[in-house]
Chains A and B, each alone.
Chain A
Amino acid sequence: MRHMSRVLATTALVAAVTLGGPFAEAKTLVVGVADNLTTLDPANANDTLSGGAARVVLQGLYGFDSNMQLEPLLATSYEANADATEFTFHLRKGVKFHDGTDFNAEAVKINIDRVRDPKVPTKRQSLVSMVDHVEVIDPLTVKVVLKEPFGAMVNNLAHAGLFMISPAAIAKYGKDIDRNPVGTGPFIFKKWSGDLFEAVKNPNYWREGYPKVDGVTFKSVPENGSRIAMLQAGEASFVYPLPSELAPVVTANKNLEVVKVPSIIIRYVAMNTMKKPFDDVRVREALNYAVDKNAFCKVVYGGYCKPAEGPVPDLLKYSTAVQKGGWPYDPKKAKALLAEAGYPNGFETEMFSKNNSTYIRAMQFLQQQFAQVGVKLTVTPLEAGVEAQRIWSVAEPKDATVQTQYGGWSASTGDIDWALRPLFYGKGFPPKLFNVAYYKSEKTDTGIEAGIATADDAKRTSEYAAVQKQIWSDAPWIFLTDDQILVGQAKGLSGAFAAPDGGLNFEKAAFK
């Protein structure tokens, strides 16, 4: 092994000298992840991890930095008209796909049209379903024209689903493009089979001086202990996710560190506002008072989260902290409110959630908290298929059996619209979207509609501030916490990160 690394170092040295590059030891970055990738065509991926692997090879017009802010990648700038129906993008000059073809406006058009093509449905079609047509103005300018105003268009185009793939490769591989990604990214796809995904350095990458590592390899290691062992043994330099209970193991090793990333994942309990007793806002407020969010954080997430200060996570643009420090914990007030609503002795109710140990622990904690104010909770974890049947496929609101649901949401477009519309919009009840609270408020609905109808920052800010305040006071949820994401990594590694949505990014990864 020692011999191997010496050979590698020598090779790297020779390479560095001949290329006249920086005098550093480059090597391949090995990333340990929990699951297998599902596809390398991000337009057909619904898991963040596959998007992360795609991001090694492909990139979009815009991307997200480590704070979930938009960062120009293949576009350098854009303009939007006032009512958010036309977006003009100026593209980066001289960028080539890995197969040597040019990246240009035509390529953008082909890619957007591919994702929205109704004949060959992609899973991420909804990201661009509002697009009417795409106009090529000149090789470096492209205009996206929408059917209806949509202020978050740039965010949608920054989503992994709209990564730019070489049109020549799309033509060549057809459906098999999902195993042969050809993009403009910092690394060139080499191989994906079973547990391993490998990509090697793109020597012609457009960003000066990057990439700084020779390649990126993803290894899927489902067992948490084994994944951390890889990091400890030096087989991997970056592991994600790092379960909170194993964070101390990583901290104890002087060569390793735990990186905490505030996430855009919010944890909540949705209460079915159409059903008794949750049709009474006082009951919903009472349950908000009944839960100690800091204790919830400690018990369920090992302390790696913080109380939610509004209905959407802090890090999303236009998010406002409606109540600093989160909804206060006050069981006395909770009891008083319940009595006022006609439930002095509490009531019995049921909670649904996904069936995994963290979710069950969360529900058991809530069960204990509810019991303090006299509410008897039955905890019902649902296996994914049953969950789909009992919650997501229910056609009529009156047939919904859900009373409360514990869940989490990550707005993967990084825009507030995708944190509000799916969950609080009066026209977004299941099975259409995910409003399990069956929450409907005139003010919220018009606010959500107005917010997306413009690309104007000031207008969106004020609309969304009002919406968040309204939701907070209507309390269709028990607002619990914003998650933190944990990454374990070697101290010698820099520039690699998990974005707040869990999207992995290795463009600027470097070993010290």
Chain B
Amino acid sequence: MLNYLIRRIVGIVPVILVIALFVFMFVHLLPGDPARLVAGPEATLADVENVRRSLGLDRPIYEQFGLFLWHALNWDFGNSLKTRIPVTEEINLRLMPTVLLTICAMAWATVFGLLIGVASAVNRGRWPDYVGMVIAVSGISFPAFWLGLLLIDVFSVRLGWLPTGGFESAKGLIMPSFTLGLGVAAVMARFTRSSFIEIFREDYIRTAHAKGVPERRVIWKHTLRNALIPVITMVGLQFGFLLGGSIVVETVFSWPGLGRLLVDSVAYRDYPVIQAEILLFSLEFILINLTVDVLYAIANPEIRFK
């Protein structure tokens, strides 16, 4: 197991280097002059030159890249062009809200999605299956911005129970995590269902039934463990996506997370923030993939030795 882990971790290093190169390059290959954007629409030519100088944008590009690598190693991305506070501080400020929202959304979505999926698979072709799948399809189909605004209209404007948004109270977490989790729950339900149905057809399940193992045990031990592999993959992927910050949900519920920071930064061409965020998202994905691999190995010992 340890061996397996070390192999996986060593494999990550070149991936990170390539990502760093891409992250640096692509921002600088975009058209447009960041100095002019930072200086603003009313700035005169002299103002623009002042901005360029004060941000170091007048230096040659390879010098800028060398500095970027060195600083990235120290997790230092300079200051945001927009707010002029350190990028890492800017990200730290938004990381917690996004992580919190992701965990809440994932937690309820995984549990409910799994239960609905299992219930549908077990009762395949009967009404719990239909109900479960109607919920799942609706969950996938509801656009988050529409659902979010609808929830706000009902629970904030009409009933006055929940705040329209913001990160100030625990109550503020309810609507965004519901909206964010709904799609995930739906995907989870469908995945669990089909994975379950597939495993049900396996010989060893028939054997288990044949030797008189109780139904409950067949479902929760024999089937679930085997059906979990694709589901874990799915959870990992979704987790990664959500950690990138949901742009729509964060915008609708004015949630101060990473997704909104990214949109704001792109609109403003806040290079350092964009770079740091993309690097962070890549790292998150790499870590999640690693975790997923480890979980596979736990769920299915055969994988460790391949």
**Chain A contacts of B46 at CB under 8 A?**
125-126, 129
Say if the beta carbon of B58 comes within 8 Å of chain A.
Answer: no
Say whether A123 contacts B39, CB under 8 Å.
Answer: yes
Give the complex CA separation of A328 and B256 in angstroms: 48
Say if the beta carbon of A36 comes within 8 Å of chain B.
Answer: yes
Say whether A38 contacts B164, CB under 8 Å.
Answer: no
Say whether A384 contacts B45, CB under 8 Å.
Answer: no
Say if the beta carbon of B156 comes within 8 Å of chain A.
Answer: yes
> What 0/1 readout, one digit per residue, does chain A (210-237) give for beta carbons within 8 Å of chain B?
0000000001111101100110111100
- Nearest residue (CB) in A for B157 is A232
Say whether B166 contacts A219, CB under 8 Å.
Answer: yes
Give the complex CA separation of A18 and B36 in angstroms: 54
Say whether A125 contacts B47, CB under 8 Å.
Answer: yes
Say whether B45 contacts A431, CB under 8 Å.
Answer: yes
A87 to chain B, nearest CB (A): 22
A436 to chain B, nearest CB (A): 12
**Chain B contacts of A393 at CB under 8 A?**
33, 36
Say whether B41 contacts A46, CB under 8 Å.
Answer: yes
Say whether B164 contacts A194, CB under 8 Å.
Answer: no
Say if the beta carbon of B210 comes within 8 Å of chain A.
Answer: no
Say whether A229 contacts B269, CB under 8 Å.
Answer: no
Say whether A226 contacts B32, CB under 8 Å.
Answer: no
**Chain B contacts of A99 at CB under 8 A?**
none
Known: A384-B269, A432-B44, A433-B44. A225 touches B149 (CB 8 A): yes
B4 to chain A, nearest CB (A): 41
Say whether B153 contacts A389, CB under 8 Å.
Answer: no
Give the complex CA separation of A179 and B145 in angstroms: 33
Give the complex CA separation of A296 and B220 in angstroms: 65
A217 to chain B, nearest CB (A): 11
Give the complex CA separation of A222 and B167 in angstroms: 15
Give the complex CA separation of A362 and B54 in angstroms: 37
- Nearest residue (CB) in A for B263 is A222
Give the complex CA separation of A257 and B224 in angstroms: 58
Selected contact of A36 from candidates B157, B164, B165, B264, CB within 8 Å? B264
**Chain A contacts of B119 at CB under 8 A?**
none
Say if the beta carbon of A205 comes within 8 Å of chain B.
Answer: no
Say if the beta carbon of B88 comes within 8 Å of chain A.
Answer: no
Give the complex CA separation of A499 and B48 in angstroms: 27
B133 to chain A, nearest CB (A): 30
Say if the beta carbon of B94 comes within 8 Å of chain A.
Answer: yes
- Nearest residue (CB) in A for B152 is A229
> What 0/1 readout, one digit per residue, does chain B (72-89) give for beta carbons within 8 Å of chain A?
000000000011110000
- Nearest residue (CB) in A for B149 is A225
A229 to chain B, nearest CB (A): 5
Say if the beta carbon of A392 comes within 8 Å of chain B.
Answer: yes
Say if the beta carbon of A262 comes within 8 Å of chain B.
Answer: no
Give the complex CA separation of A44 and B47 in angstroms: 11
**Chain B contacts of A383 at CB under 8 A?**
31-32
> What 0/1 readout, one digit per residue, does chain A (400-415) give for beta carbons within 8 Å of chain B?
0000000000001000
Say if the beta carbon of B53 comes within 8 Å of chain A.
Answer: yes
Selected contact of B164 from candidates A129, A235, A433, CB within 8 Å? A235
Say whether B156 contacts A233, CB under 8 Å.
Answer: yes
A65 to chain B, nearest CB (A): 22
153-187 of chain B: CB within 8 A of chain A: 153, 156-157, 160, 163-167
- Nearest residue (CB) in A for B97 is A194
Interface segment out of the listed B62-70, B99-107, B247-255: B247-255
Give the complex CA separation of A388 and B48 in angstroms: 11
Say whether A126 contacts B165, CB under 8 Å.
Answer: no
Say if the beta carbon of B138 comes within 8 Å of chain A.
Answer: no
Say whether B152 contacts A194, CB under 8 Å.
Answer: no
A121 to chain B, nearest CB (A): 3
Give the complex CA separation of A221 and B50 in angstroms: 32
The number of residues on chain A lying at the interface, defined by a beta carbon within 8 Å of a beta carbon of chain B, is 47
Say if the beta carbon of B140 comes within 8 Å of chain A.
Answer: no
234-273 of chain B: CB within 8 A of chain A: 251-254, 256, 260, 264, 267, 269
Known: A123-B39, A385-B30. A230 touches B164 (CB 8 A): yes
Known: A46-B43, A222-B254, A385-B269. A38 touches B93 (CB 8 A): no
- Nearest residue (CB) in B for A192 is B83
B255 to chain A, nearest CB (A): 9
Say if the beta carbon of A307 comes within 8 Å of chain B.
Answer: no
Say whether B165 contacts A221, CB under 8 Å.
Answer: yes
Say if the beta carbon of B51 comes within 8 Å of chain A.
Answer: yes
Say if the beta carbon of A386 comes within 8 Å of chain B.
Answer: yes
Known: A225-B149, A385-B30, A385-B32. A219 touches B51 (CB 8 A): no
B169 to chain A, nearest CB (A): 11
- Interface-central residue, B39, B82, B148, B164, by most chain A CB under 10 Å: B164
**Chain B contacts of A226 at CB under 8 A?**
148-149, 152, 164-165, 251-254
**Chain B contacts of A44 at CB under 8 A?**
84
**Chain B contacts of A431 at CB under 8 A?**
45, 48
Say if the beta carbon of B143 comes within 8 Å of chain A.
Answer: no
Say whether B44 contacts A126, CB under 8 Å.
Answer: yes
Selected contact of A385 from candidates B31, B53, B252, CB within 8 Å? B31
113-159 of chain B: CB within 8 A of chain A: 145, 148-149, 152-153, 156-157
Say whether A123 contacts B164, CB under 8 Å.
Answer: no
B127 to chain A, nearest CB (A): 37
Known: A123-B51, A389-B31. A432 touches B45 (CB 8 A): yes
Say if the beta carbon of B40 comes within 8 Å of chain A.
Answer: yes
> What 0/1 readout, one digit per residue, does chain A (327-353) give for beta carbons within 8 Å of chain B?
000000000000000000000000000
Say whether B149 contacts A384, CB under 8 Å.
Answer: no
Say whether B54 contacts A389, CB under 8 Å.
Answer: no
Known: A223-B252, A229-B157, A235-B164. A194 touches B94 (CB 8 A): yes
**Chain B contacts of A384 at CB under 8 A?**
32, 37, 267, 269
Say whether B256 contacts A194, CB under 8 Å.
Answer: yes
**Chain B contacts of A392 at CB under 8 A?**
36
- Nearest residue (CB) in B for A385 is B32
A450 to chain B, nearest CB (A): 21
Say if the beta carbon of A193 comes within 8 Å of chain B.
Answer: yes
Say if the beta carbon of B202 comes within 8 Å of chain A.
Answer: no
Give the complex CA separation of A441 and B261 in angstroms: 46
Say whether A412 contacts B42, CB under 8 Å.
Answer: yes
Say whether A46 contacts B152, CB under 8 Å.
Answer: no
Known: A222-B251, A223-B251. A385 touches B33 (CB 8 A): yes
**Chain A contacts of B33 at CB under 8 A?**
385, 388-389, 393
Give the complex CA separation of A232 and B267 in angstroms: 29
> What 0/1 readout, one digit per residue, does chain A (415-434) give for beta carbons within 8 Å of chain B?
00000001000000001110
6-55 of chain B: CB within 8 A of chain A: 30-34, 36-37, 39-48, 50-51, 53-54
Q: Which 10 A-B pairs have the closest CB atoms?
A: A385-B32, A46-B40, A121-B50, A194-B256, A221-B254, A233-B156, A388-B36, A232-B157, A195-B256, A229-B164
What are 15 pairs between A and B in contact, CB < 8 Å? A47-B40, A121-B51, A121-B54, A126-B43, A194-B93, A194-B167, A223-B251, A225-B149, A226-B164, A229-B156, A232-B156, A383-B31, A383-B32, A385-B34, A432-B44
Known: A1-B160, A384-B37. 16 other contacts (CB 8 A): A35-B264, A39-B83, A39-B84, A175-B84, A194-B94, A222-B260, A226-B152, A226-B253, A229-B153, A233-B157, A233-B164, A235-B163, A386-B31, A388-B37, A393-B36, A431-B48
